Amino acid sequence: MTGSISALKEGDIYTSYPSSLDMSAIQTEVEQDQNAITARHYRQVTAHYTRDLNAVQSELSSTILLHRVHSYGQQKKYQETLEDANQVLNAFAARASALYFLERIEELM
């Protein structure tokens, strides 16, 4: 390989993965939902909590999978690395597609 990209050596693995979850946006929404509960807007709050719960589960699963991808790569278990990486990519692709069709593209940024 030429240029500024260095070739990977056996045992190397891409290590740019999130080290922690950013829950600040969801925490803000949960706090706002508390106001909606006070106003007895239960249907709206239930929908928001469901969305927030799905977002947390998705982000947590992806983060754990990315960490496991790294761990498998360090052990030279490349088949397992590939399988987990594909799960993460498929989840992100499905999310992007859903946001596109929901006309919520701004959430991709």
pLDDT tens sequence across 55-76:
777 778 888 888 899 899 999 9
Q: Based on the number of CB atoms within 10 Å of its own CB, is 81 exposed (0-12), middle (13-18) or buried (19 or more)? A: buried
Cut 0.85: pTM above it:
no
Q: Where are the domains of the chain?
A: 40-108
Which residue type sits at 94? A
Cβ pair 93, 85 in contact under 8 A? no
Six token digits for residue 88? 């993460």
Six token digits for residue 92? 């992100």
Q: Based on the number of CB atoms within 10 Å of its own CB, is 8 exposed (0-12), middle (13-18) or buried (19 or more)? A: exposed
